[in-house]
Amino acid sequence: MANVEQMIKYKFKNPQLLKSALTHSSVSSNVAKNYERLEFLGDRMLGVSVASMLYEMFPNEPEGNLSQRFTALVCKETVADVAKNIGLDKAMFVADDEIRQNENVLCDVCEAVIGAIYVDSGMDEAFAFVKDYWQDLVGKHIAPPKDAKTTLQEVAHVKGYLPPIYKVVDRSGLEHEPIFTVEVSLGKDLKALGKGHNKKLAEFAAASKILEQINND
């Protein structure tokens, strides 16, 4: 565990908390020995920490803009990226190495580590961890981020298209690592397909592709 503590820049008083935070249910179904309860707690700690950072860093922004930033910073994709950047994917205890690439699991493990730090030392240390790994992400964009689906909704309204309709047309891949294919349409003549490891990502990909079509016309 010492090398993992170096990776996360925090030394546990109770190292068993860290081991539990890194243990997938495929290794232990005992809720006291896997990450599930700690993930529940860490998810809340992450939300409070990011919300506090946004409140302090953007004193003149209205609630709507703060909410957009917040959603982008605590979404599964962002948290999973943080987990991989830290190296938690390599540190996890799993029954199958393919689980290490599962975005849902990576997000859960990262949140579980935050929860474990909170249980071990309290809110200040948990917040310090989040600040260390999220502060650059918070300051990355001058304007609040807008996802492709929101942009497409606005473009469709301005240009007089029908509202976007999303439909899952295929699901393939392994059970724990599925690939969704989603079709988005703006009326019968304007359609695009997008793929992703969950429905939301596939919808974003499809929206991005149809926006490219619109911009190229």
Catalytic residue status for 43: yes
Q: Among 43, 89, 108, 120, which one carries the catalytic annotation?
A: 43
Q: Which one from 39, 89, 111, 203 is the annotated catalytic residue?
A: 111
Relative orientation angle of helices 199-216 and 148-159, to the nearest 10 degrees:
40
Quote the tokens at residue 123: 């809110």
Q: Quick check: is 111 catalytic?
A: yes
Q: Please report, in angstroms and rounded to a whole number, the separation of the first and last CA atoms in the chain.
A: 56
177-185: strand order across its sheet: 165-174, 177-185, 191-196
Query: Which positions are annotated as active-site residues?
Result: 43, 111
